Structure 1
């Protein structure tokens, strides 16, 4: 198969699936890992895709990012291995006895699963019904659910009612998820009602750490929540480019790259 034919097959697969692993492409196209690696490098140089650790993902247009909406249930399975790696890295910044806030993003659910397995004395405040279900009854976890207006598509509570509790409590760390984060535009979301609770969580917290897979970095969504000066750190996966890391760190925001769960990520940043 000629290289241009492989490019076309890879491009159509990404259009359909959103992301694809290198090993999957090797099987589908009956070619070597080295050939696929070169193909992905060439396609990225042409602006046809974005390479990530272990594969590639589709590049969305600005219009697609701003106008399309994907439910929580569908987003939960996107880049799940990277969200899991980010969540496990975030555990290193939590101590027993602390109060943490988790918002309604899908990465928060992965962090809730990791927290449940690690800690035996922790208070978790959340507006996420999915997170609450994960932590309900967990030994040593004090769970505070905000209540409010329930949005089934997000499995979350929103509105001023959901935000009220944060004027009454103090939080050690708020782990903030996002649709996009860039030096120029800060933290952005698809919907206006997504940010009211997050703003109050941030106000109640001593520090805010962004937890986001690398597909969110350098991108902008529709509604701005805040500038990056409001956050202390970004935890992301090894798909982030060195240029993106440099841009954020030049702006005063530390970037920590998660260690892959198989322990083979050479790009892991020691703390």
Structure 2
């Protein structure tokens, strides 16, 4: 026996909140209605900004993100980013050689890096390099290349070639999106390409990402989660995502 449309919509949203997604075919069977009816239900709910339809299923929100300037992004989740940065700084060791990618989490991380003797930093972020240049104990190397003004960072073949000449103990990378199936992403294809070269050059890959970055996708794919060693994030991460990351073998640090 089918249920009325109001109850059906409520149950769809309840399932979405519980599971993180709903599938058209499963809803059709559960509610004993046609696939067309379920698609109409999801279209109505999407028009009310209650979900986002995608390939035979629906998820809570639009996972695709647009690019914003670094000065805007720095103001978002600033407290969480500060805690993440402090935790990341605590795992640094004297004589480490590290790569800093771009992004506001990486810039905040640079502010927390202590004056460790023998620490070498290769940075794609112009802002991070300026911050670290104040510490005489640290050798700072700025990647060359084309300047990406929205992120105050460099990208391009010159930067990628420079990376191939070195090896590093750790890479600290910020991302625009973390999707459990698609992996790490950024809004820039050129930045994604550079990040891939950074991964090749580093022994340990550490992602700095506040919880708002999960279940989001950017235009450029960096890598799958199987290549990530550690993710440092805040307590806003949901249990389903947390459990999946642990299953994938990612060291998850929650601040």
- Give the drift of 1:60: 5.6
Q: CA RMSD in A?
A: 2.0
Counterparts of 2:63 and 2:107, CA distance in 1: 27
Offset at residue 92 of structure 1 (A): 2.6
Contact 1:129 1:155 in 2 (8 A): yes
Does structure 1 residue 128 correspond to structure 2 residue 125? yes
Instruction: Answer yes or no: is 1:222 the counterpart of 2:209.
Output: no
- 2:190 is matched with which residue: 193, 197, 204? 193
* Cα pair 1:183 1:251 within 8 Å, conserved: no
Q: What are structure 2's unaligned runs of at least 5 residues?
A: 1-47, 52-59
Seen in structure 2, the aligned counterparts of structure 1 residues 47 and 214 have a Cα distance that, compared at 3 Å, is farther
Pairing of 1:82-121 with structure 2 (within 5 A): 82-115=80-113, 117=114, 119-121=116-118
Q: Which residue of 2 aligns with 1:162?
A: 159
1:69 aligns with 2:70: no
Q: Which residue of 2 aligns with 1:237?
A: 234
Please give the per-residue CA displacement for 1:25-50, whole angstroms capped at 9, x wherever unaligned.
xxxxxxxxxxxxxxxxxxxxx9879x
Computing the radius of gyration from Cα coordinates, the structure with the larger value is 2
> 1:125·1:146 contact (CA, 8 Å) conserved in 2?
yes
Deviation string for 1:53-102 (max 9, x for gaps)? xxxxxx86235x2xx32011111111111011101111232111101110
Match for 1:252 among 246, 249, 252?
Answer: 249
Q: CA, structure 1 residues 223+152, in 2 after alignment: closer, same or farther (shift >3 Å)?
A: closer
**Does structure 1 residue 147 correspond to structure 2 residue 131?**
no
Q: Secondary structure at the match of 1:210?
A: strand
1:169-200 Cα offsets, whole Å, 9 max, x none, are 11000011111112211011112111122111
Cα distance change on mapping 1:138 and 1:48 into 2, 3 Å: farther
Number of corresponding residues = 200
Q: Which runs of 5+ in 1 are unaligned?
A: 1-45, 50-58, 259-271
TM-score if structure 2 supplies the norm length? 0.74
Which secondary structure does the structure 1 equivalent of 2:83 belong to?
Answer: helix
Query: How has the CA–CA distance of structure 1 residues 139 and 219 changed in structure 2, closer, same or farther, with 3 Å as cutoff?
Result: same
